């Protein structure tokens, strides 16, 4: 089930059946404020090839929320500090789910405004809904499938929740500028590798970079970025040969972003260089 939350479109969770009522839930472990939700369906088992579903065969589902549970336990696997539950002993591209446990419910499930798509007739396999007002006090979210096109099983490659929390948490520490190193590939200067030291409390990192402005040693606009999960390095293969670049590494978690210090780190022709 964790594959539905790993920010990788190439992995997914899938229920064992295409029946109405299959569900996937996540306990956020704490009180969060949710601003938007996106669902990316994976279409596992869909029989439609080279066409689009008609109005009576669209994805129909609803997303519900509840306040934090008294005990943060649920059936399913655990990833990134969340408890993930499902009503199905399902498998996805990443393998089988974990064993079941039982938790206590603090409140009843309520439909998230704008995400009752139980009568949907539109072809919307990657629905993004920005809530009309932030939803506060969210402890868990649940998606229940009612119908999938072409006989597909309920399958999710991305159950994406945008917001802030938990209440009382702290943003991550800053990535130390001294730890950032950039090395340009001498065989192909369009490629570079960026590495840095882990920052306490970071869930992922954003590597920002941009062309050094003419005559500027510092402060160039960093107009491009890479998001990096589960690692403290990344390969960038989108540079222009013979051009100098500036880089910064930001640390991110569900509370906020701690900006890195932008520095000119990569001359037009360079060897490994400290930030």
Tell me what pLDDT residue 51 has: 79
Tell me what pLDDT residue 72 has: 41
Tell me what pLDDT residue 85 has: 59
Tell me what pLDDT residue 55 has: 84
| 8 Å CB contact between 210 and 246 | yes
Tell me what pLDDT residue 54 has: 84
Tell me what pLDDT residue 261 has: 85
| 8 Å CB contact between 248 and 176 | no
Strands 82-86 and 204-211: unpaired
- Please tell me the distance from the alpha carbon of residue 94 to that of residue 3, in angstroms, as a whole number: 6
Strands 181-184 and 23-41: unpaired
| 8 Å CB contact between 154 and 22 | yes
The DSSP code for 88 is S
HEC per residue, 58-81: CCEEEEEEECCCCCCCCCCCEECC
pLDDT tens digits, one per residue of 33-88:
999 999 999 999 999 988 778 889 999 999 999 998 755 444 333 333 345 556 65
- Please tell me the distance from the alpha carbon of residue 86 to that of residue 167, in angstroms, as a whole number: 26
Of the candidates 266, 265, 268, 214, the residue with the CA atom closest to the CA atom of residue 242: 268
Structural domains for the chain = 2-164 (2.60.120.260), 177-274 (2.60.40.10)
The DSSP code for 106 is S
- Please tell me the distance from the alpha carbon of residue 9 to that of residue 129, in angstroms, as a whole number: 18
- Please tell me the distance from the alpha carbon of residue 174 to that of residue 260, in angstroms, as a whole number: 6
Tell me what pLDDT residue 49 has: 85
- Does this model's pTM top 0.85? no
- Please tell me the distance from the alpha carbon of residue 79 to that of residue 7, in angstroms, as a whole number: 12
* Concatenated DSSP letters of 202-217: -SEEEEEEEEPPTT-S
What CA dihedral angle connects 3, 5, 10 and 12, to 10 degrees? 50
The DSSP code for 261 is P
- Please tell me the distance from the alpha carbon of residue 45 to that of residue 185, in angstroms, as a whole number: 43
- Please tell me the distance from the alpha carbon of residue 122 to that of residue 246, in angstroms, as a whole number: 44
Tell me what pLDDT residue 87 has: 66
pLDDT tens digits, one per residue of 93-118:
433 222 223 344 457 899 999 999 99
* Range with lowest mean pLDDT among 154-163, 208-217, 226-235: 208-217
| 8 Å CB contact between 192 and 182 | yes
Scanning the chain, the segments in alpha helix (DSSP H) are: none
Q: What's the sign of the alpha-carbon dihedral 130, 120, 160, 68?
A: positive
User: What value does the mean pLDDT take over residues 210-239?
Assistant: 85
């Amino acid at each position: 089930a964790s594959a539905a939350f790993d920010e990788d479109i190439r992995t997914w969770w899938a229920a064992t059946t295409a029946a109405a009522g299959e569900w996937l839930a996540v306990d956020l472990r704490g009180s969060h404020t949710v601003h938007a939700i996106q669902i990316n369906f994976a279409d596992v088992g869909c029989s439609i090839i080279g066409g689009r579903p008609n109005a009576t065969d669209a994805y129909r589902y609803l997303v519900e929320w509840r306040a934090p549970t008294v005990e943060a336990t649920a059936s399913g696997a655990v990833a990134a500090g969340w408890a993930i539950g499902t009503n199905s002993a399902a498998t996805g591209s990443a393998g089988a789910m974990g064993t079941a446990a039982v938790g206590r419910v603090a409140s009843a499930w309520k439909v998230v405004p704008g995400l009752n798509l139980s009568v949907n007739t539109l072809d919307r396999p990657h629905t993004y809904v920005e809530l009309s007002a932030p939803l506060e006090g969210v402890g868990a979210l649940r998606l229940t499938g009612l119908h999938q096109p072409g006989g597909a099983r309920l399958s999710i490659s991305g159950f994406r929740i945008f917001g802030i929390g938990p209440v009382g948490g702290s943003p991550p520490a800053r990535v130390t500028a001294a730890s950032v190193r950039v090395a340009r590939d001498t065989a192909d200067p369009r490629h570079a590798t960026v590495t840095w030291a882990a920052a306490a409390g970071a869930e992922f990192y954003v590597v920002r970079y941009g062309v050094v402005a003419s005559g500027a040693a510092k402060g160039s606009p960093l107009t491009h970025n890479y998001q990096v999960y589960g690692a403290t390095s990344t390969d960038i293969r989108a540079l222009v040969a013979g051009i100098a670049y500036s880089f910064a590494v930001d640390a991110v978690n569900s509370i906020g972003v701690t900006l890195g210090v932008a520095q000119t780190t990569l001359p037009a022709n360079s060897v490994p260089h400290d930030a």
